[in-house]
């Protein structure tokens, strides 16, 4: 698990954070203060910037940023904006880790925030999710390559027109038409 942050360091950071910044949600501030007073819960709190694929995440924003005031993510459940639901979940599952994402001005340069970040924490993605992401990435790369190639062919057609070169225009147009026809064929094959 990356760098271990002590309960005292987490408490000190939360105290500093709550005195330095005003949260958009008053209820979220009460939840943060509650966390500060419960060492058993604070032990399970991990400050993270990348919270995708984590099991239980609370995201809180201050008034100085344009972000959602409060979000509670629980694996396999809908996202909630209800602070009370997050509180009840913590109460019912006190032995589960809580990943806390904070959005505030200067967060990228805040030494206090950097000191409590635990970015070494990352759960393994399920194989099906990894495969899905891999397929999406391959598809995106293929789409970018096709767009690049088509734009290149379009530039050749435009250049031939600008130079009033009939032969170059006909050749570039023929290749562009052939390229577009190959896209249509590929699309028809992949939709079957």
Supply the CATH number for residue 36's domain.
3.40.1530.30
The answer to whether residue 157 is domain-embedded is yes
Same domain flag for 17 and 79: yes
Residue finishing a domain among 123, 152, 169 = 123
pLDDT of amino acid 94: 86
Task: Tell how far CA 16 is from the center of its chain.
Answer: 26
**pLDDT value for 118:** 85
Q: Is residue 1 part of a domain?
A: no
Do 92 and 19 belong to one domain?
Answer: yes
Q: Flag whether the pTM goes above 0.75.
A: no
For residue 2, pLDDT over 70 is answered with no
Q: Identify whether 52 is part of a domain.
A: yes
Q: Are residues 139 and 90 in the same domain?
A: no
User: Has residue 2 been placed in a domain?
Assistant: no
Domain that holds residue 178: 128-190
On whether both 107 and 147 belong to a single domain, the answer is no
36 or 128, which is more confident: 36
The least confident of 96-100, 133-137, 162-166, 173-177 is 133-137
Q: Are 71 and 79 in contact (CB under 8 A)?
A: yes
Helix axes 26-37, 7-20, angle to 10 degrees: 150
């Amino acid at each position: 698990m990356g760098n271990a942050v002590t309960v005292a360091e987490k408490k000190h950071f939360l105290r500093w954070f709550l005195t330095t910044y005003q949260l958009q949600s008053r209820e979220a501030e009460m939840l943060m203060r509650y966390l500060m007073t419960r060492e058993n819960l604070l032990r399970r709190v991990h400050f993270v910037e990348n919270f995708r694929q984590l099991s239980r995440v609370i995201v809180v924003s201050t008034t100085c940023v344009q972000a959602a005031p409060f979000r509670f993510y629980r694996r396999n459940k809908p996202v909630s904006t209800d602070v009370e639901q997050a509180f009840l979940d913590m109460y019912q599952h006190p032995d589960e880790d809580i990943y806390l994402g904070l959005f505030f001005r200067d967060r990228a340069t805040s030494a206090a925030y950097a000191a409590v970040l635990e970015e070494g924490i990352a759960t393994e993605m399920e194989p099906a999710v990894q495969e899905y992401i891999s397929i999406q990435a391959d598809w995106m790369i293929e789409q970018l390559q096709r767009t690049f190639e088509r734009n290149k062919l379009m530039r050749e057609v435009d250049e031939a027109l600008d130079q009033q070169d009939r032969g170059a225009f006909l050749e570039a147009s023929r290749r562009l038409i052939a390229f577009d026809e190959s896209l249509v064929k590929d699309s028809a094959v992949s939709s079957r």
